[in-house]
Amino acid sequence: MSSVLVVEDEQHLADGLRFNLEAEGYTVNTVSDGEAALSLLLEKGQPFDAVVLDVMLPGKDGFTVASELRASGQFVPVLMLTARGRPDDVLRGFESGADDYLPKPFELSVFMARLNALLRRREWFQKDHAETDRHPSEPVTDEVGSGPAEEVFAIDGKTIDLGALELRTRHQTVRLTLMEVQLLRYLIRHEGKVVSRKAILGDVWGVHEDTDTRAIDNFIVRLRKYLEDEPSRPRHLLTVRGVGYRFVAGSR
């Protein structure tokens, strides 16, 4: 049975979500502010399968909660509840580590569908990983572009394991958020081709509004820190001025 933490200060909405989630067989905890959420998720280490996180909260807002979770190495899937008509909220949400978003007000059926999809995606990633599990000392032989089914890629002595949501170097393992993994997978799939910021926004983020695309640049900066030997002189995640980005597996 999946357990969900609902972080929502509007009591009637929190109650409604709890009622509907419980009806679907979920175990539900609700808290009404960000501090309480962080304390449950970090200090008490209570395991949740997903977090429903409102943006507008008393005290710490949803953006802060999400970034503190990610900064502390807590990678539970987060569905963020944003205000309608605020694409900036959506981008800020993804930047702070949310995995999906839903603008308020929303239909409960849509909410359930999005949450179920998020949980399925998580399970799917984990299942993928279990099936392709290999011993850490085994050499990774697949190079980028070896096929869509393979989820483990090697670049410059680093291993990108999309199924495990992590990137491993000789010295450390970096945990990736679902969104970082989706962006990486998208770039890998389009290896060698120029992808526009707008295409990334639409295909990876699901944002189709004509909106600011800077959030993508921030993601790329982060991915470069993981991937590139010299992030300021990237050899794989290249900027194509005025258009977007191009991912190249080998250095050219």
Q: Could you list the residues that contact Ca ion (CB under 5 A)?
A: 9, 54, 56
Q: Taking a C-beta distance cutoff of 8 angstroms, is the pair 26, 18 a contact?
A: no
Nearer to Ca ion, 9 or 191 (CB): 9
How many CB atoms are closer than 10 A to CB 96? 24
- Smallest gap from residue 58 Cβ to Ca ion (A): 8
Residue number of the CB atom closest to Ca ion: 56
Instruction: Count the neighbouring beta carbons within 10 Å of the beta carbon of residue 77.
Output: 22
- The answer to whether the CB of 70 falls within 8 A of the CB of 98 is no
Tell me how far the alpha carbon of residue 41 is from its chain's centroid: 17
The helix or strand, by DSSP H or E, that contains position 52, with its residue range, turns out to be strand 50-54
List, as one string, the DSSP characters of 162-178.
TTTTEEE-SS-EEE--H
At closest approach, how far in Å is the CB of 42 from Ca ion? 21
Which C-beta is closer to Ca ion: that of 14 or that of 220? 14
> Are the CB atoms for 91 and 214 separated by under 8 Å?
yes
Min separation Cβ 9 and Ca ion, Å: 5
Is 49 or 54 the residue whose CB approaches Ca ion more closely?
A: 54
Cβ proximity to Ca ion, 56 vs 140, nearer residue? 56
Shortest separation between residue 143's beta carbon and Ca ion, angstroms:
47
We find the least distance from the C-beta atom of residue 14 to Ca ion, in angstroms, to be 9
Q: Phi and psi at residue 184, in whole multiples of 5°?
A: -60, -45
Q: Which is nearer to Ca ion, 54 or 161 (CB)?
A: 54
What is the C-alpha separation between 113 and 63, in angstroms, rounded? Answer: 23
